[in-house]
Structure 1
């Protein structure tokens, strides 16, 4: 693998992960009642605690995308 292939890989990883992130955020926002009821029944977590858990999940996922996908992509783009 050369640097151009690795750069392309990180670019597509970033796009795919951002799509998953946006889908998750929209599902939580648009279908809030459904997702809260589903997760509280399946996981046995109080429905009042779920908004904080959703916030933590989305924040950690976004941070992971920035650190493990976008930062290497930008660094490799600057090298080439």
Structure 2
């Protein structure tokens, strides 16, 4: 595997995971009641707890996205 292939790999990983993150945020921005209603059907938890959990997942996903997608892609761009 050469640097060009790794660059392409991390570029597409960044694009796909960024798209997933944006889609996820849009769902919770524009239809929070709908998403909560669907989730509370399976997991009955209070709305405040649900909001805290979702906010924590947003932060966790963002940190993992930056560390495992953006940073390696930028490092490969600098090296190449």
TM-score, with length taken from structure 2? 0.94
- Unpaired runs of 5+ residues, structure 1, are none
Partner of 2:49: 49
Partner of 1:64: 64
SS in 2 for 1:58: helix
User: For residues 47 and 30 of structure 1, what CA distance do their matches in structure 2 show?
Assistant: 16
TM-score, with length taken from structure 1? 0.94
- Unpaired runs of 5+ residues, structure 2, are none
SS in 2 for 1:68: helix
Number of corresponding residues: 80
Could you list the structure 1 runs, at least 4 aligned residues long, displaced by more than 3 angstroms after superposition: none
Partner of 1:78: 78
Partner of 1:30: 30
Q: Which has the higher contact order (CA 8 A, sep 6+)?
A: 2
For the 8 Å contact 1:17–1:65, the answer to whether it is kept is: yes
Q: What is the root-mean-square deviation of aligned Cα atoms in Å?
A: 0.8
